[in-house]
Amino acid sequence: MEKLDKAAALVNELHKHKLSLCTAESCTGGGIADRITDVPGASQVFVGAVVAYTPEAKSILLNLPAEDIPPGAVGEKLTVAMAAQAKSLLGTDLALAVTGALGPASPAESIGVGQIFISITGLGQEEVRQINFAGDRQTIKEAAVNAGIDFLLAYIARWYNA
C-alpha cells in the first residue's frame, strides 16, 4: 500500500469511528502529522501535533518533569508519558508518541541507532512498541513514520472494533 494510501486509510478509520487524534513526535520531526495532513478531510479528525525534539522541548511543551527524561531523551516510559500528555493537553480520543535514535551516532550509551519507541494511548488502552530499524538516518526516520501509521491502524482495529 502506498504511503498516502495508508494515511488515507487511517483518516478513514478515524472518521468512521468518530475518533480524534494527536501526535507527540520527537525523532520523526512531525513526519507522522505531515503524512496524515496530506489526506483531504484530515482536519476533521486530526487535532494537532507537538514536535518536541530536545529534552527541554519535552519539558516545556508536554509538561514532562526534566528528571523523568532519560539520557538521550529516548525510551519506553518517556514515549508513554509523551502520548498521555499530548492526549490530555489536546483533548483527543487517541494520541501517538514516538522517540528514537536516527543516527549516525547514538544519543546515549544505552540507546542503539535505529531503536524506536512508539506509544499509543486512548480507547481505555495503552500500548508501546520498541522497533529496531537498520539503515541511514532518512531510512530509519521514514520507517518510523510508516510504523507509526501502521501501529495506529492496528490499534484502532484491535481496540475499537473488538
Question: To the nearest whole number, what is the mean pLDDT of the chain?
Answer: 96
Specify the pLDDT at position 3.
67
Residue 162 has pLDDT above 60, yes or no: no
Cα–Cα distance, 5 to 110 (Å, whole number): 36
> Mind listing the pLDDT tens digit for each residue in 27-61?
999 999 999 999 999 999 999 999 999 999 999 99
Q: Which domains does the chain possess?
A: 3-160 (3.90.950.20)
- Give the Cβ contact number of residue 112 at 10 Å: 13
Residue 130 near residue 76 (C-beta atoms within 8 A): yes
Coil, helix or strand at residue 51: strand
> Mind listing the pLDDT tens digit for each residue in 128-160?
999 999 999 999 999 999 999 999 999 999 987
Helix (H) or strand (E) holding 114: none
Q: What share of the chain has pLDDT > 70, as a percent?
A: 97
Distances (CA, A) of 61 to 23, 50, 57, 66, 89: 12, 7, 6, 12, 10
Tell me the β-bridge partners of 122: 94, 125
15: left (phi over 0), alpha (psi -120 to 50) or beta: alpha
Residue 161 has pLDDT above 80, yes or no: no
pLDDT band at 73 (very low <50, low <70, confident <90, very high): very high
Cα–Cα distance, 14 to 18 (Å, whole number): 6
The pTM of the full predicted model, rounded to 2 decimals, is: 0.96
> Mind listing the pLDDT tens digit for each residue in 104-117?
999 999 999 999 99
